[in-house]
Amino acid sequence: MQQPKYRRILIKLSGEQIKGTDGEVVSYDMLDFLAQEIGRVHRHGVEIAIVVGGGNIWRGHRAIERGMDAAQSHYMGMLATIINALAMQDALERHGLDTRAMTAIKMDEVAEPYIRRRATHHLEKGRVIILAAGTGNPYFTTDSAAALRAAEIHAEVILMAKNGVDGVYDDDPRRNPAATRFDHIHYLEAINRGLTVMDSTALTFCMDNNLPIIVFNALEPGTIERIVMGEHVGTLVSNQRGGARC
């Protein structure tokens, strides 16, 4: 039986993935789809952490533009990620997975506090952990939380889920049909080009800590499993020199 290439992964889901394409703030169909995809990977014995965004519920930059205090807006965004984490937890458990929701903001009635050793213990026990509330600090995105948590739990790779985009391109493929996808690209080139991988703080952190990132289309069935089993899918962002286009 083929063995997985990666034994411990962190999946970064945006609020857009939770929202799906049907216009609902939280899409039951999308949650069900994601739970099935994650369940397929879990059956290979892979240890899985998930970091969720909150953009389907709260768009902080819009409130800041209207004069809201930035820190206040960021905390509201953290609370939105907790709602998404609980929704994701419910979907996973309905598919038979043992889970733990953990949050960087203390909220004992609904989730465990994030403690690094406890998180790794859950992973070793085969539980899927859903990490919410970002880093627990304003001014840091959930991309930064994904990078930080991946380093803390010693994940081998970060899987950056995108909606309908199958990797990193030199331009927006939804606006420019001639845009070219990178097969792999170095962190620094992605930063210098301003490519849409993750925010620059998170990308620099991954570079400094040699954390590879795979950007893939979350809407394509079986993609996460194919990546975990070693198939090249999407775009690899790593310390390999020279971006290859396909």
Instruction: Establish whether 13 is an annotated binding residue.
Output: yes
Instruction: Establish whether 96 is an annotated binding residue.
Output: no
CA neighbor of 150 nearest in space, from 94, 91, 202: 202
Instruction: Establish whether 99 is an annotated binding residue.
Output: no
Contact predicate 17/165, CB 8 Å: no
Instruction: Establish whether 235 is an annotated binding residue.
Output: no
User: What's the token pair of residue 180?
Assistant: 């070219």
Instruction: Establish whether 138 is an annotated binding residue.
Output: yes
User: What's the token pair of residue 237?
Assistant: 């962002």
CA neighbor of 85 nearest in space, from 123, 112, 61, 118: 112
CA neighbor of 129 nearest in space, from 215, 28, 5, 11: 11
Instruction: Establish whether 192 is an annotated binding residue.
Output: no
Residue 10 is given by DSSP the state E
Instruction: Establish whether 169 is an annotated binding residue.
Output: yes
Instruction: Establish whether 163 is an annotated binding residue.
Output: yes
Instruction: Establish whether 200 is an annotated binding residue.
Output: no
Instruction: Establish whether 15 is an annotated binding residue.
Output: yes
User: What's the token pair of residue 54?
Assistant: 């909150």
Instruction: Establish whether 117 is an annotated binding residue.
Output: no
Contact predicate 13/149, CB 8 Å: no
Instruction: Establish whether 31 is an annotated binding residue.
Output: no
Tell me which amino acid residue 127 is: R
Instruction: Establish whether 162 is an annotated binding residue.
Output: no
Instruction: Establish whether 14 is an annotated binding residue.
Output: yes
Instruction: Establish whether 136 is an annotated binding residue.
Output: yes
Instruction: Establish whether 33 is an annotated binding residue.
Output: no
Phi-psi region of 153 (alpha: psi -120 to 50; beta: other; left: phi over 0): alpha
Residues belonging to the binding site for UMP are 54, 135-142
Residues belonging to the binding site are 12-15, 54-55, 59, 135-142, 163, 169, 172
Residues belonging to the binding site for ATP are 12-15, 55, 59, 163, 169, 172
